[in-house]
Chains A and B, each alone.
Chain A
Amino acid sequence: MPSPVSRDTVASAKPAQPIARPSRFARLRQSDLWYSFTHNKPAMIAAAVLLLVVLAAFSAPWIAPQDTYDPAQLSLWNSELPPIWMDEGQMPFLLGTDTQGRDMLSAILYGSRISILIGIASVILSLTVGLTAGLVAGYFGGITDNVLMRFGDILLSIPTILIAILVSALAMQALPPDLREVGAAAVLVLAIALSGWVQYARLVRAQTTVERGKEYVQAAQLLKVPARRIMVSHILPNTLTPIMVAATLNFGLAILTEATLSFLGIGMPPSQPSLGTLIRLGNQFLFSGIWWVVLFPVLQLCLIVVSVNVLGDWLRDALNPKLR
């Protein structure tokens, strides 16, 4: 990620007199964005919650009471225990156990880690593809532009959830059976990113066609700066503001799509469950009274997505020049 204040990148050309430049951290502290962040309670709470959830998820191997990937640690003696505050609850199963004797807290921590990783990976993949396609289409125009954007139009004319379902179902089928468990996460990232890049490409293309005609680009062209460099280090920084908002909101969306696919049974396998898989497994026992196996994964999923969306909403307002 570049520094959050993209305007500064333009001004950071070397000044004639060497002046002591403030550090990145100091510049961040003085930025409008930081001011708006510290004066927006929902955004600060959401950021804190998200930070906590992410930290807990990634330190799962050290803080989780149970390693859910190790079947030897599961015991059917411990199955269907309710959460600790109910009468039959037992230590160390704070949030109870499922029918296999799997500790729900550990399963949720490991599951969140998978969900968050798939979300991040698919956003990075669709960002890479989308920014490249948008820059190339906007800078060169012509046939390249037409082909890329028509392809995007076609992708957008099919509901995204259908594309994700079809791609992951078919790719999972195409994998050899012994690779399906390992490859599931990669297939999901691909399926989600496949329709995600179009939005970035459109945003960047629109901005690039505007920037292409400006003097600084013409100057660089006259200096025979290679096209790739002009696109990446001159034009790209000026297109990033709307991209940041879209990427934040799409991160939440990617986690939701992954959860939906896993819930439908075409995502992560039960041996390495994501939050969606946990909800699907728990959903089968909805009527048998063990509500905790479905409610806690649901709450965790909502917590992550709501805080991402609150942050995205704030970012959109904070970066919108019309609302300044």
Chain B
Amino acid sequence: MLVFILKRLFNAAMVMLAVAFLAFLIFRAAGDPVEIMANDQMSIEDKEALRDSLGLNDSFVTQYLRFVGNAARGDFGISYRNGQKVLGLIADRFPATMELVLVATILSLVIGIPLGVLTAIHRGRWHAEALQFVSIIGVSLPSFVVGILLILVFSVILGIAPAFGRGEVVDLGWWSTGLLTPSGRAALVLPAISLSLYQITLIMRLVRAEMMEVMRSDFVKFARARGVPRWRIQFRHALKNCLMPVITMTAMNVGALIAFALITETVFQWPGMGMLFIQAVTFLDIPVMAAYLCIISFIFVTLNTVVDIAYAVIDPRLRHATR
């Protein structure tokens, strides 16, 4: 068991090193940062001093190792665009993205699971088939299209929900939350729905597939033979056995949701990490791009590793199945 956990952790560390290498390559690929930062008044000596202070005159390997060392301590340097510390910039935006992702995840579970059960137990009836077809459309709609359509209907035509910004926020220490004010909650509604729609359809289809399989199993037949009421079989016996993969997928997808939030954030002008990243991309603000890539991948890899280990703790058969 210990060997398995160590192997998993080692794997995760290797992936993170590779991601850091990619992030480091971005620096090399984007050309000379001094030329981007410098203004017209700077002399060649000034530029050279700046180059030295940024450590750009060292060897490739030294620069990479220093990058990894700094990144591990959370130091991603200063933004090319406004000279502020990158980690501070991202920390400012972190709560906005996490609140959006959290609410979207809760929404997708609360809506997706009942819909999945419904389409499974009412299979063949017209409303279940209609829902199933709608779910294909839900998977096909890109999230920016969902956002635009929501804005068009609820903000432009009906005028009942704000289309951009985060509303009023309250500072709780280093965390700023929009959940405590009415305008903050109102601003969260459309972005959260738009981000969760894809997730809702995924969970719905997963629950449906799992339910249909479980309902065919022996213990369900036995429960039916014992005369347990139908709804009780469906919601107590069968649903319980479907939840494990649903929880796994939800946990693993939080990382993907944070990444996809950048599209939702752009549509709704939501001041989160994703918008920071897109602005950094258009300005070629490399330190911010690299830091975002590393942080998102870190969350992604951590979640996957934790889920893997948790699975192995619960189900011993998996310990030997994976190398």
Q: Which residues of A contact B (CB under 8 A)?
A: 42, 153-154, 157-159, 161-162, 165-166, 169-170, 173-174, 252, 256, 259-260, 263-266, 279, 283, 286-287, 291, 294-295, 298, 301-302, 305-306, 308-310, 313
Task: Say yes or no: A173-B30 contact (C-beta < 8 A), given A252-B140, A298-B148.
Answer: yes
Cβ distance B130 to chain A, nearest Cβ, rounded Å: 12
> Does B293 contact A158, Cβ atoms closer than 8 Å?
yes
Task: Say yes or no: A161-B148 contact (C-beta < 8 A), given A154-B15, A173-B31.
Answer: no
> Does A295 contact B152, Cβ atoms closer than 8 Å?
yes
Cβ distance A53 to chain B, nearest Cβ, rounded Å: 14
> Does B281 contact A309, Cβ atoms closer than 8 Å?
no
Selected from A157, A265, A291, A306, the residue in CB contact (under 8 A) with B297 is A157
Selected from B152, B156, B259, the residue in CB contact (under 8 A) with A161 is B259
Is B71 located at the chain interface by the 8 A CB criterion? Answer: no
Task: Say yes or no: A173-B300 contact (C-beta < 8 A), given A159-B259, A298-B149.
Answer: no
Task: Say yes or no: A259-B142 contact (C-beta < 8 A), given A157-B301, A157-B304, A306-B136.
Answer: yes
Q: Can you give 23 A-B contacts (C-beta < 8 A)? A: A42-B133, A153-B15, A157-B15, A159-B259, A159-B296, A161-B259, A161-B260, A162-B296, A165-B281, A170-B30, A174-B29, A260-B143, A260-B144, A263-B144, A266-B282, A283-B148, A286-B152, A295-B152, A298-B145, A302-B137, A305-B141, A306-B140, A313-B136
Cα distance, A310 to B137, chains bound together (Å): 9
Task: Say yes or no: A301-B259 contact (C-beta < 8 A), given A42-B133, A266-B281, A306-B136.
Answer: no
A-side contacts of B284, CB under 8 Å: 169, 173
A-side contacts of B278, CB under 8 Å: 165, 264-265
B-side contacts of A265, CB under 8 Å: 278, 282
B-side contacts of A298, CB under 8 Å: 145, 148-149
> Does A287 contact B156, Cβ atoms closer than 8 Å?
yes
Cα distance, A252 to B139, chains bound together (Å): 11
Q: Which residues of B contact A (CB under 8 A)?
A: 15, 18-19, 22, 26, 29-31, 133, 136-137, 139-145, 148-149, 151-152, 156, 163, 255-256, 259-260, 262-263, 266-267, 278, 281-282, 284, 289, 293, 296-297, 300-301, 304
> Does B30 contact A279, Cβ atoms closer than 8 Å?
no
B-side contacts of A161, CB under 8 Å: 259-260, 262-263
Task: Say yes or no: A166-B289 contact (C-beta < 8 A), given A174-B29, A306-B136.
Answer: yes
Cβ distance B40 to chain A, nearest Cβ, rounded Å: 20
Cα distance, A298 to B289, chains bound together (Å): 29
Top 3 A-B pairs ranked by shortest CB distance?
Answer: A159-B259, A305-B140, A306-B140
B-side contacts of A252, CB under 8 Å: 140
Selected from A157, A256, A310, A313, the residue in CB contact (under 8 A) with B300 is A157
Selected from A42, A158, A174, A309, the residue in CB contact (under 8 A) with B19 is A158
A-side contacts of B133, CB under 8 Å: 42
> Does A302 contact B281, Cβ atoms closer than 8 Å?
no
Give the interface centre of B31, B133, B145, B256 by most chain A CB atoms within 10 Å.
Answer: B145
> Does B148 contact A286, Cβ atoms closer than 8 Å?
yes
A-side contacts of B301, CB under 8 Å: 157
B-side contacts of A264, CB under 8 Å: 263, 266, 278, 281
A-B pair count, CB < 8 Å, reads 106
Selected from A42, A158, A286, the residue in CB contact (under 8 A) with B156 is A286
Selected from A157, A286, A301, A310, the residue in CB contact (under 8 A) with B142 is A301
A-side contacts of B137, CB under 8 Å: 302, 306
Cα distance, A14 to B19, chains bound together (Å): 51
A-side contacts of B15, CB under 8 Å: 153-154, 157
> Does A309 contact B136, Cβ atoms closer than 8 Å?
yes
Give the interface centre of B133, B137, B142 by most chain A CB atoms within 10 Å.
Answer: B142
Give me 9 other A-B pairs in contact (C-beta within 8 A), A286-B152, A302-B140 excluded.
A157-B297, A256-B142, A263-B144, A265-B278, A279-B145, A283-B148, A286-B163, A298-B148, A309-B139
> Does B19 contact A157, Cβ atoms closer than 8 Å?
yes
A-side contacts of B300, CB under 8 Å: 157-159
Cα distance, A186 to B152, chains bound together (Å): 33
Closest residue on chain B to residue A310 by CB atoms: B136
Cβ distance B108 to chain A, nearest Cβ, rounded Å: 17
A-side contacts of B262, CB under 8 Å: 161
Cβ distance A232 to chain B, nearest Cβ, rounded Å: 29
> Does A159 contact B255, Cβ atoms closer than 8 Å?
yes
B-side contacts of A310, CB under 8 Å: 136
A-side contacts of B282, CB under 8 Å: 265-266
Cα distance, A161 to B261, chains bound together (Å): 11
B-side contacts of A286, CB under 8 Å: 148, 151-152, 156, 163
A-side contacts of B266, CB under 8 Å: 263-264
Cα distance, A279 to B144, chains bound together (Å): 9
Cβ distance B63 to chain A, nearest Cβ, rounded Å: 18
Selected from B156, B263, B293, the residue in CB contact (under 8 A) with A291 is B156
> Does A260 contact B281, Cβ atoms closer than 8 Å?
no
Cα distance, A291 to B149, chains bound together (Å): 10
A-side contacts of B142, CB under 8 Å: 256, 259-260, 263, 301, 305
B-side contacts of A279, CB under 8 Å: 144-145, 148
Selected from B141, B156, B260, B297, the residue in CB contact (under 8 A) with A302 is B141
Closest residue on chain B to residue A280 by CB atoms: B144
Cβ distance A187 to chain B, nearest Cβ, rounded Å: 13
> Does B145 contact A301, Cβ atoms closer than 8 Å?
yes
Cα distance, A161 to B277, chains bound together (Å): 13
B-side contacts of A42, CB under 8 Å: 133
B-side contacts of A309, CB under 8 Å: 136, 139-140
Cα distance, A30 to B266, chains bound together (Å): 50
Cα distance, A306 to B139, chains bound together (Å): 8
Cα distance, A157 to B30, chains bound together (Å): 23
Give the interface centre of B19, B151, B152, B260 by most chain A CB atoms within 10 Å.
Answer: B152
